[in-house]
């Protein structure tokens, strides 16, 4: 049956019927005995992978296995920023490919994900930092990604509410802007992919925990779950912060550590900030949602954690930098805080690759940049699974780069994953 189409017309039509005729966005099937592909993890990346397996590769006998409810992990816990302002070619080209998918996503999914290219500005507080941003911005431009270097006056025109006063510890020298970067409605991304994947035949199985793997002769055969055994020729692991937990069940040790990242929002205020802005003399970023809430985040809590609950000193530190950048934040009230668990890789870049087990594919290591990568990650992971080899875009995201030394260290911080 064709999927019900969302549009202003269907909305009006349904309004006169008391909205009684809306169909379920996705079904609630019981798992089949066998699938061609199982994707473990019903987050953004997993749902996108299933969607692109169906759409691009015609593989529809697919199940998504989710321990809780879809979109309950980092796709619903991030600060909704979408960008491709990377220095390294692997990251830049991959993310820019994703930007194209973002721009078309609402129409592609027939679900308004509210992609809003409002521009991201990374503030610089010294000439040295301006130079470092030039290095990144020039790399972006040579990769065909939009980037603009702004001087102090230009920044002031765009965000006059930033601290341009004398009473400032780190004056604003300028900034690097990616005008096409922006935000999207995070939950909608998960739901939009889920609805389309479901309509193409993908089984979304929620509240189903993976308890083990069936591996024989170096080949994956299936999984054991709280809802029974399910066979599959190919299995994709797409579980972000839970990667280490599942890896343990596979006797795999990965270049991944799990860490906690907090974010918070203020009470809603009238629109004051259109762009996404990051502080350069620390680690703080901020945007304002369409509801009026200031959405803020920054440093990791800084120790291995699966808790999804953080401590206040980290937020205090982050908000200190927030006020240093935007003094007006001081008067606002912090409304909600939450935490997500991050799969921090040892060079800060992701892994999308095959593994030493035949039929087992790995997608992890997104650190705190997973949300924006959702479409590109799903697209390339689907390709990697369907073709049994990485796409050119994710060749650099190999697992063995840690052996060969072809690392993609955007920040130059090395293996101390907890330093952000």
Restricting to residues 119-158, name those near other proteins by CB under 8 A. Answer: 125-128, 131-139, 141-144, 147-149
Q: Contact between 266 and other proteins (CB under 8 A)?
A: yes
DSSP H/E element including 401: helix 401-404
Binding mask 390-409 for other proteins (x = CB under 8 A): ------------xxxxxx-x
Which of 114, 158, 200, 221 touches other proteins (CB under 8 A)? 114
- 376 to 94, 118, 363, 384, 389: CA distances (angstroms): 7, 20, 12, 12, 16
Nearer to other proteins, 122 or 385 (CB): 122
Selected range binding other proteins among 211-219, 321-329, 361-369, 380-388, rule: CB under 8 A: 321-329
Q: Within 340-399, which residues bind other proteins (CB under 8 A)? A: 346
Which of 50, 62, 276, 332 touches other proteins (CB under 8 A)? 332
CA gap 275, 80 in Å, rounded: 12
State the minimum distance, in angstroms, from the CB of residue 125 to other proteins. 7
- 363 to 74, 88, 210, 262: CA distances (angstroms): 14, 19, 16, 23
Which of 235, 295, 315, 382 touches other proteins (CB under 8 A)? 315
Nearer to other proteins, 388 or 411 (CB): 411
State the minimum distance, in angstroms, from the CB of residue 164 to other proteins. 11
Alpha helices of 71-185 — where are they, by DSSP H?
89-109, 127-142, 152-158
Site size for other proteins (CB under 8 A): 144
Place of tokens 């966005």: 25
CA 123 to chain centre: 22
State the minimum distance, in angstroms, from the CB of residue 75 to other proteins. 11
Give yes or no for a contact between 79 and 409, defined as CB atoms under 8 angstroms apart.
no
Nearer to other proteins, 75 or 232 (CB): 75
Nearer to other proteins, 132 or 221 (CB): 132
Q: Within 204-223, which residues bind other proteins (CB under 8 A)? A: 206
- 354 to 141, 245, 281, 399: CA distances (angstroms): 31, 18, 38, 8
Q: Within 46-75, which residues bind other proteins (CB under 8 A)? A: 68-69, 71-72
394-397 LR contacts (CB < 8 Å, sep 24+): 394/94, 394/352, 394/353, 395/90, 396/89, 396/90, 396/94, 396/349, 397/90, 397/94, 397/349, 397/350, 397/351, 397/352, 397/353, 397/365
Give yes or no for a contact between 113 and 187, defined as CB atoms under 8 angstroms apart.
no
State the minimum distance, in angstroms, from the CB of residue 129 to other proteins. 9
Nearer to other proteins, 286 or 373 (CB): 286
Which of 118, 156, 224, 283 touches other proteins (CB under 8 A)? 118
């Amino acid at each position: 049956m064709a999927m019900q189409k969302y549009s202003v017309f269907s909305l009006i039509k349904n309004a006169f019927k008391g909205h009684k005729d809306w169909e379920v966005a996705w079904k609630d099937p019981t798992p089949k005995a066998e699938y061609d592909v199982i994707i473990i993890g019903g987050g953004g990346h997993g749902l996108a992978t299933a969607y692109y397996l169906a759409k691009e590769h015609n593989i529809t006998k697919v199940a998504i296995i989710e321990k809780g409810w879809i979109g309950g992990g980092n796709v619903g816990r991030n600060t909704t920023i979408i960008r491709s302002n990377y220095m390294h070619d692997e990251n830049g080209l991959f993310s820019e490919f994703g930007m194209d998918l973002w721009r078309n996503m609402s129409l592609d999914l027939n679900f308004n994900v509210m992609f809003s290219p409002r521009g991201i500005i990374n503030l610089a507080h010294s000439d040295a930092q301006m130079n470092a941003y030039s290095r990144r911005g020039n790399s972006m431009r040579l990769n065909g990604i939009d980037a603009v270097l702004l001087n102090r006056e230009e920044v002031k025109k765009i965000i006059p509410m930033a601290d341009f006063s004398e009473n400032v510890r780190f004056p604003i020298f300028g900034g690097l802007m990616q005008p096409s970067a922006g935000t999207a409605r995070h939950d909608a991304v998960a739901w939009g992919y889920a609805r389309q994947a479901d309509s193409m035949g993908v089984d979304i199985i929620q509240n189903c925990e993976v308890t083990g793997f069936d591996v024989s002769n170096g080949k994956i055969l299936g999984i054991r779950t709280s809802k029974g055994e399910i066979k599959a020729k190919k299995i994709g692991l797409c579980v972000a912060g839970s990667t280490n937990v599942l890896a343990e069940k596979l006797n795999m040790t990965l270049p991944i550590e799990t860490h906690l990242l907090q974010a918070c929002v203020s009470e809603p205020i009238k629109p004051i900030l259109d762009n996404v802005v990051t502080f350069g003399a620390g680690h703080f970023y901020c945007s304002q949602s369409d509801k009026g809430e200031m959405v803020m985040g920054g440093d990791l809590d800084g120790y291995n954690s699966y808790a999804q609950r953080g401590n206040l000193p980290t937020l205090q530190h982050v908000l200190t930098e927030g006020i240093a950048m935007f003094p007006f934040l001081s008067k606002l009230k912090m409304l909600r805080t939450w935490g997500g668990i991050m799969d921090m890789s040892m060079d800060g870049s992701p892994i999308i690759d095959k593994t030493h087990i035949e039929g087992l594919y790995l997608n992890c290591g997104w650190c705190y940049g997973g949300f924006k990568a959702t479409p590109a990650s799903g697209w390339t992971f689907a390709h990697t699974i369907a073709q049994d080899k990485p796409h050119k875009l994710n060749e650099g995201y190999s697992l063995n780069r840690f052996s060969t030394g072809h690392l993609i260290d955007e920040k130059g911080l090395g293996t101390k994953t907890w330093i952000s």
